[in-house]
Amino acid sequence: MTALESRLMQRLKVLPPERVAEVVDFVEFLASRVQRDAAAQRLTDSMARLDALGLPPISDEEIDEEIQAARNERHAAQQANGSS
């Protein structure tokens, strides 16, 4: 255990349970922020890689066609499996 971890443990031991619960909530909040920031960075990196490809944007009609094709495939698979 590091000195910082030991110091934190000593401080936590003297807190009442409701304060320890607040500390836990705060630590979980900080952890979620780290995860959110990492996800945002991955998204930003992905968008940059997509932009670097130089592909033309797809139209609303192309998006609708892709959605309909995926729905048709899913429906056909459900029919083949005997479910509806």
* Domain contains 29: yes
* Together in a domain, 73 and 48: no
* Together in a domain, 49 and 72: no
- Check pLDDT > 60 for residue 8: yes
What is the model's pLDDT at position 64? 97
* Domain contains 9: no
* Together in a domain, 62 and 81: yes
* Cβ partners under 8 Å of residue 12, min gap 6: 20, 23
Domain count, the chain: 2
* Domain contains 34: yes
* Cβ partners under 8 Å of residue 20, min gap 6: 12
What is the model's pLDDT at position 84? 55
User: Helical H runs in the chain?
Assistant: 3-13, 17-53, 60-80
Domain that holds residue 73: 56-84
What is the model's pLDDT at position 1? 86
* Cβ partners under 8 Å of residue 46, min gap 6: none
* Together in a domain, 20 and 46: yes
The whole-number average pLDDT for the span 52-70 is: 95
Write the burial class of residue 53 (CB in 10 Å: 0-12 exposed, 13-18 middle, 19+ buried): exposed
The whole-number average pLDDT for the span 50-76 is: 95
Distance CA 5, CA 29 (A): 19
> Amino acid identity of 44?
T
pLDDT in tens, 13-58: 999 999 999 999 999 999 999 999 999 999 999 999 999 999 998 9
What is the model's pLDDT at position 53? 95
